Amino acid sequence: MEISPVAGALGAEIYGIDISKKLSNAETKILQENFLKYKVLFFRDQCLSAKKFVSFASLFGEPTIYPFIKGLDDTPEVIEIIKTKNDKKNFGGSWHSDTSYMECPAMATLLYAKEVPEFGGDTLFANTSLAYENLSENFKELLHNLVGVNSSEKGYTGGRAAGMSKLSKMNKTFDSNALSYETEHPIIRTHPETGQKSLYLNLSHTSHFKEMTAPESRPLINYLCKHMIRPEFTCRFRWSEGSLAIWDNRTTLHHAINDYPTQRRHMLRITLAGDRPR
């Protein structure tokens, strides 16, 4: 197994391993340790069925059901994310941390590429722990007691169902009976395994600070969200068929770039159960 960092901020590609096969305890430990170290791991040229995808995901945590999109019949933990040639919008096309609107947000997300466009469709990742470390001590103290209010409806004009209706495949698999979620999380989050502190907010889901109005909150939210995605805190991954990425939602943001009009993209996704941010 070879581990090759992709950027100074975060991310590493893993070579010389077939994750469709049962891994040894030593191999699993190496992957788990480097997942915490690099925050996002990338694998190429893998051949996974949906069930083997779930099996690999289980090495890092507990695969869970995504509340808004119906999973595959035999593996309900796996959802399809398809952008057709006719879709103008894409899924995940803004900087965010997955399901941060839930009481216990997803610990990690895995994405596996079944079909990719000829060009475009890269994903950007940002290290929110590094972003926190680069704030002044006085500013960190200012943020210490701030709590963000996060909503699953933020960013969806007319609600999430209306937003999903603009994506042909998502509209067919969207669960219109799914609940809306709103929850409160600290703006500075401590990682339960590494102890690192990270900024924990995003423009996609964080609507305002607790006990403040949205207009009062917006300037600081905008500043922090812009700070977190400074180039020196990021890495970029170009997908190819058979590529897989796993990222730590507790200490990263990600953004799926929508720059491949009239091309098709087909991905499989799993989220892993997490704990309540503290």
Count of structural domains within the chain? 1
CB 7 within 8 A of CB 214: no
Q: Quick check: is 228 in a domain?
A: yes
Q: Quick check: is 43 in a domain?
A: yes
Q: Quick check: is 97 in a domain?
A: yes
Q: How far apart are CA 18 and CA 48, in angstroms?
A: 10
Q: Note the helical H segments in the chain.
A: 25-38, 50-57, 128-133, 137-143, 160-164, 168-173, 214-228
Supply 146's token pair. Answer: 């701030």
Q: Quick check: is 277 in a domain?
A: no
Q: Quick check: is 154 in a domain?
A: yes
Place of tokens 């593996």: 75
Q: How open is the CA angle 48-50-55, to the nearest 5 degrees?
A: 80
Q: Give the residues across from 123 on adjacent strands.
A: 237, 256
Closest residue by Cα to residue 67 from 41, 99, 22, 95: 99
CATH number of the domain that 106 lies in?
3.60.130.10
CB 28 within 8 A of CB 56: no
Contacts (Cβ under 8 Å, ≥6 apart) of 122: 236, 237, 238, 239, 257, 259
Q: What is the span of the domain harbouring residue 151?
A: 2-272
Q: Quick check: is 212 in a domain?
A: yes
pLDDT per residue rounded down to tens, the chain (278 residues): 999 999 999 999 999 999 999 999 999 999 999 999 999 999 999 999 999 999 999 999 999 999 889 999 999 999 999 999 999 999 899 999 999 999 999 999 999 999 999 999 999 999 999 999 999 999 999 999 999 999 998 765 445 555 555 566 666 776 656 678 999 999 999 999 999 999 999 999 999 999 999 999 999 999 999 999 999 999 999 999 999 999 999 999 999 999 999 999 999 999 999 999 99
Q: How far apart are CA 149 and CA 144, in angstroms?
A: 15
Place of tokens 């924990």: 200
Q: Quick check: is 127 in a domain?
A: yes
Q: How far apart are CA 10 and CA 31, in angstroms?
A: 15
Q: Quick check: is 278 in a domain?
A: no
